[in-house]
Amino acid sequence: MADTVELKICRELLDPKFDGYKLSLDKLPQYKSQLDNAIEVVDLNDDQYSYHHAKIYGVHNHLFLDMWSEHNVYFIDRDWAVVRSASVGMTLDSGRKVLQIPDATNQKLTPRRLNLVLQFISLDLAVVSDGAGKFHLVDTGNRGDNSNNWKIIFSKDLLNNGEPFLLVDAVVHTVDETHHVECLCVHVEEATEEQKEKYRSPNLTILEWITLSSVDRRSWSVERTRQLIGRKPYDYAALDHTGSSVIISAAAEFKFVSDSSKLIQEETEQVPVNGQNGETVPEYTWNQGSDEICATFTVPEGVKKGDIYMTLKSEYIDFGIKNGRALLKGQLHRRVDVDASTWTISGQRIELTLSKPELEAWPVIVQGDDRGEMTVDEGLIAQIHERLAHLTSDQMNPSPEMAEGQPYNAQQLEDCDAFPDDSSLLHRINGDTHRTVSQTNLGSHQWLFNARLSHDQPPALCLRHDVDGLLWQPENVVKEQMTPWKHVSTFNAFGYVQASKQQRKYSTCPPGSSYVAVCDCARHVYIYRQPAPITSPVRNRKTGRQVNSVAKQQVISLESVDNILGVQATVEKLFVITKNMVYVANVNMAP
């Protein structure tokens, strides 16, 4: 069983007294450059109609940043030329062609083709997927020298059936003097009848993990292929930079279904205990009242009180026999009152009582644990219904202000208070064992955006916690007693900020997280800066509290009314691209 890991918030990165963002009318220096050739944009067709297609392919960032040389951004034009646009000081060139992607005329005829992707994986290597099924490994030379001598050193249709795919992530690493390039690609397939029954979805998101290898970094070959399937699309998918694991955040778990090097072992199922007549006997029984859960376990003879251990948190339990088996372990269905929960032992019988602070019926105690059987007490059902009666009505709360005891007015809820019905799971899967090694149930922590903070780490993901946006950095290597996801920054009130942007298309932040940017579909980009000290502290007239720092909001207005098609953030500059124009705003540097 995978280790269930909680997200450990760094309290030092929170600001409970945050006063909000102050609109600054100071204009950010910005400049632009007309493109010699429009960028290539592929829209979804009528066959790509599902939620999987919309989620995975719907919003594509057509601007690519070189983390090794942050004054350079790249795009791919409609002739499939990779073009570099360099920003130095207050200038921005219109672009210089550095690579021609081959066979553009024929590849453009591929049905259901997708957008092209460029990613830099080292100081002298890049990868390109053409959206029509072909992958290219490119030797760029030292890009810091603005070299134009890029050359393709490996090309291949990575998927056997020639299926178009989108490149999700790629990393390069070395093991025993053999170089490896790990590529994570995605495509969406219509489920077969057998898959529809198994996954309960008409469409599936397929992640292909392709491993290339080389001894001399010149001659490359495909060494290994692996495939994972998810019945729901993901919010986040990336490889760790050791090439050993894939990290995924999605509303449903992804699992390996094939591996060219190792047999996929099905997870061992619990062997049912059979009764005298062959019927299946549950490992424990449980029942619930309106305010508590009671589970009953049978333990071997000789087990004493001192042999029992329990680790209980508000949403997690580990309860069992020391140096023996766990009786109950995992993420609880809902939170419990830890102080009011207890257990007792009498002979071979153990009774565990969990206090429920919320008036709600639980379908299970621990998520994913079906070893127990719920027993129902009719008296308790009547009691629950009686206590719930005042909260139910045959009308949709027509006069909320007239209802006695109404805990809140549902009409006052805002869009940003609504969370998806599914509870997302953030999990890390080992590529060799095919097992989930650590997982976190995100619950109501809504996904906001992803951002790459460093060239040698996986992208970070921003999740909503209450009203704030917390940035979590997955670690490359997870050692014993080490948290696999690290809280590295907080964007105050960003949950509300992002929900208020009805025309939002992209969100991103630079390394260091000094600001976060939100791009509308067209015209406007909003900058939200971290609180900065002010030279002359002021006092809040309402609360009387002295204010020593101010968080600013700034707005960038573009001249073009064309749709924004990509954005990249660095510490000093923010790059934005439309179909025919590149814009740069100096965010943290003098004009």
Closest CA to 555 of 578, 584, 523: 523
Place of tokens 């008296």: 379
Q: Return the pLDDT at 385.
A: 45
CB atoms within 10 A of CB 256: 22
Q: What is the pLDDT of residue 322?
A: 82
Task: Specify the pLDDT at position 403.
Answer: 42
CA angle 566, 502, 550 (to 5 degrees): 85
Contact 387, 405 (CB under 8 A): no
567 in the same domain as 467: yes
- Could you tell me if 370 and 492 lie in one domain? no
Which residue among 388, 423, 452 closes a domain? 388
Q: Is 19 domain-assigned?
A: yes
Do 296 and 379 fall within a single domain?
yes
The pLDDT, as a whole number, for residue 280 is: 54
Residue type, position 487, single letter? H
b/e code 160-170 from CB counts within 10 Å (16+ = b):
eeebbbbbbbb
The pTM assigned to this predicted structure is 0.75
Do 588 and 465 belong to one domain?
Answer: yes
470 shares a domain with 355 = no
> For every residue of 337-399, which 3-state class applies, written as one string?
EEEEEEEEEECCEEEEEEECCCCCCCCCCECCCCCEEECCCHHHHHHHHHHHHHHCCCCCCCC
pLDDT tens sequence for the chain (591 residues) = 566 788 899 999 999 888 889 999 888 999 999 999 999 999 988 888 899 999 999 899 999 999 998 889 999 999 999 999 988 877 788 789 999 999 999 999 999 999 999 999 999 999 999 999 999 999 999 887 766 789 999 999 988 777 899 999 999 999 989 999 999 999 999 999 999 988 889 999 999 999 999 999 989 999 999 999 999 999 999 999 999 999 999 999 999 999 999 888 765 444 444 554 545 567 888 888 878 899 998 888 888 888 898 989 988 898 988 877 789 988 888 889 998 899 998 888 899 999 988 877 888 898 878 788 887 654 544 454 454 444 444 444 444 444 444 444 444 445 444 444 456 889 999 999 999 988 898 887 899 999 999 999 999 999 999 899 999 999 887 665 567 899 999 999 999 899 888 899 999 999 999 999 999 999 999 999 999 887 776 766 666 677 778 899 999 999 989 999 999 999 999 999 999 999 999 998 654
Long-range contacts of 77-83 (CB under 8 A, 24+ apart): 77/35, 77/36, 77/37, 77/38, 77/39, 77/40, 78/37, 78/38, 78/39, 78/40, 79/37, 79/104, 80/40, 80/104, 80/107, 80/116, 80/130, 81/37, 82/118, 82/128, 82/150, 83/35, 83/37
In this structure, are 472 and 369 located in the same domain? no
Pair 578, 468 in one domain? yes
Residues 6+ positions from 446 with CB-CB distance below 8 Å? 419, 420, 463, 464, 495
Task: Identify the DSSP state of 498.
Answer: H
Q: Assess if residue 227 is contained within a domain.
A: no
Residues 569 and 467 in one domain: yes
Position 400 in a domain: no
Same domain, 383 and 470: no
Q: Counting beta carbons within 10 angstroms of the beta carbon of residue 546, is it exposed (0 to 12), middle (13 to 18) or buried (19 or more)?
A: exposed
Same domain, yes or no, for 465 and 587? yes
The radius of gyration of the chain from alpha carbons, rounded to an integer in Å, stands at 27
Q: Are residues 585 and 503 in the same domain?
A: yes
Give the whole-angstrom CA distance, residue 75 versus residue 65: 9
Q: Which residue has the tokens 């006052």?
A: 412
Task: Answer yes or no: is 233 within a domain.
Answer: no
- Specify if 6 maps to a domain: yes
Q: What local confidence, expressed as pLDDT, does residue 412 receive?
A: 46
Q: What phi, psi does 547 have (nearest 5°)? A: -105, 120
Asked which of 388, 414, 449 is the last residue of a domain, the reply is: 388
Range of 356's domain? 278-388
Residue 415, CA atoms < 13 Å, CB-side half-sphere: 7
Contacting residues for 49 by C-beta, under 8 A, at least 6 apart? none
* Residue at a domain's end among 388, 414, 436: 388
* Count of Cβ atoms closer than 10 Å to residue 16 Cβ: 7
Domain count, the chain: 2
CA atoms within 13 A on the CB side of 545: 7
Q: Which amino acid is at 476?
A: N
Residue 478 lies in a domain: yes
In a domain, 52, yes or no: no
**Residues 298, 379 share a domain:** yes
**Spatial separation of the C-alpha atoms in residues 207 and 185, rounded to whole Å:** 6
Task: Judge contact between 86 and 69, C-beta under 8 A.
Answer: no
Which CATH number belongs to the domain containing residue 344 in this structure?
2.60.40.790
Amino acid letter, 404 = E
Two structure tokens written together for 394: 């045959």
Residue 532 lies in a domain: yes
